[in-house]
Amino acid sequence: MKRIFDLIFALIILLIFSPILLIITILIRIKLGSPIIFKQQRPGMHGKPFILYKFRTMSNKRDNNGELLDDEFRLTPFGSFLRKFSLDELPQLINVLKGEISLVGPRPLLMEYLSLYSEEQAKRLFVKPGLTGWAQVNGRNAISWEEKFKLDVWYVENQSFLLDLKILYLTVMKVIKTEDIKNDKHTTMPSFEGNSVNNNKDISL
């Protein structure tokens, strides 16, 4: 039932937002150049890698040594606007159609975080990652990694169709109010560096 709902809902949203997607594509090409779509390998269910799609929001500004500048210096005003209203996430509806992610589930993080999870935190990989999730409607980037992972695991252990509907509704409200986009000390979220007693622990699923 969840997969059928994912397919129908994703197709409807893509059709409704197709004019906006076209406008965003043109503006990114003008303001940031190519590529328009940011692609990055992320872990899916049970850690299986897939390619995540997002609209590009950052420039390629580099320092004198040719290294990319920190996110805060590369995030453009237009990119900030896209993130503020979560418009940069819309291409992930393609990931939903492909069955790589669901509409609701723990957000797919970076591949290098996999070996840093505690055994409890690794439970977030027992389900498909999502376009939005329980952690996103309960703090998003304004809460710590530990709080975020606890919320993810709670979702895994308590998931239901009604809970998914609630999360989708709360997500729309969060986007409208543009809440919890930034972390207090970072443009988005600081990097996850593991747990003090579980760093570099290999998790086998």
In a domain, 25, yes or no: yes
pLDDT surpassing 50 at residue 100: yes
Tell how far CA 106 is from the center of its chain. Answer: 9
Dist. CA 168–CA 47, nearest whole Å: 24
In a domain, 192, yes or no: no
Domain total for the chain?
A: 1
pLDDT digits (tens, 9 = 90+) for 15-61: 999 999 999 999 999 998 899 999 999 999 999 999 999 999 998 88
pLDDT digits (tens, 9 = 90+) for 134-150: 999 998 778 889 999 99
Percent of the chain surpassing pLDDT 90: 67
Smallest Cα–Cα separation from 168: which of 194, 146, 137, 191?
137
Dist. CA 145–CA 147, nearest whole Å: 5
In a domain, 182, yes or no: no
Can the peptide bond before residue 35 be classed as cis, meaning omega within 30 degrees of 0? Answer: yes
The encoded tokens of residue 40 equal 């990055």
Dist. CA 33–CA 42, nearest whole Å: 24
Structural domain that includes position 166: 2-177
pLDDT at residue number 197? 45
pLDDT surpassing 60 at residue 153: yes
In a domain, 66, yes or no: yes
In a domain, 70, yes or no: yes
pLDDT at residue number 76? 87
